[in-house]
Structure 1
Amino acid sequence: MTNTFEELVAKQRAADEAHVRVRHLQETYGPPTHTQWSSRQTTTWETAWRAWRDLARDVQVAVSEFARAEGKPRHVVEAEIKQAVRHEQQGGADA
């Protein structure tokens, strides 16, 4: 199933937010090689990392399908999506 451009933007935004969550946890907990994480911290980080990984993979697959369906180079579609996400983050969305 091919996604719409707006759906791809939403998927990319979700993946970006998941990545921010992983980075926040890493910053909060400290480097695992320097700080002993508790079992709960490890589980929380691994869950967040898996969510980010899965969302990022889904975006990559969806972008490839969309690019193929639109007859556009994949890197062009990726750039358009990232630009749309940045535009939203800068307050350009009408949502």
Structure 2
Amino acid sequence: MAIEPPNELLELERVAWTEIQEGRLTIETVAAVQTAITEYATEHGLNRYELEKAVKTAVRHPKPSAGG
């Protein structure tokens, strides 16, 4: 079953991905993303690594939208 990450995690990862691309990723951003992923996985009984993979894939390799 595929994991559907919540918007809150996707937004945090988008910030991190932007910072990575601009060469200004901070440890605070990394910590915020990792903490949020870990907490969400724990609360929902998910594998943290699979959740992180789903979040990164959704942000870094989005599927093309229908009709475009």
TM-score normalised to the size of structure 2?
0.76
Q: Aligned residues: percent identity?
A: 25
Alpha-carbon displacement from aligned partner over 1:51-73 (angstroms, at most 9, x marks no partner): x3211110000000000011011
Task: Tell me which protein shows more helix as a share of its residues.
Answer: 1
Structure 1: segments with no counterpart, 5+ residues: 23-47
TM-score by length of 1: 0.56
* Offset of residue 14 of structure 1: 0.5
Matched position secondary structure for 2:22? helix
Does residue 59 of structure 1 match 2:33? yes
1:19 aligns with 2:32: no
Question: Structure 1 runs of 4+ off > 6 angstroms?
Answer: none
Structure 2 stretches lacking a partner, 5+ long: none
TM-fit CA distance, 1:76: 0.9
Answer with 1 or 2: which has the greater Rg. Answer: 1
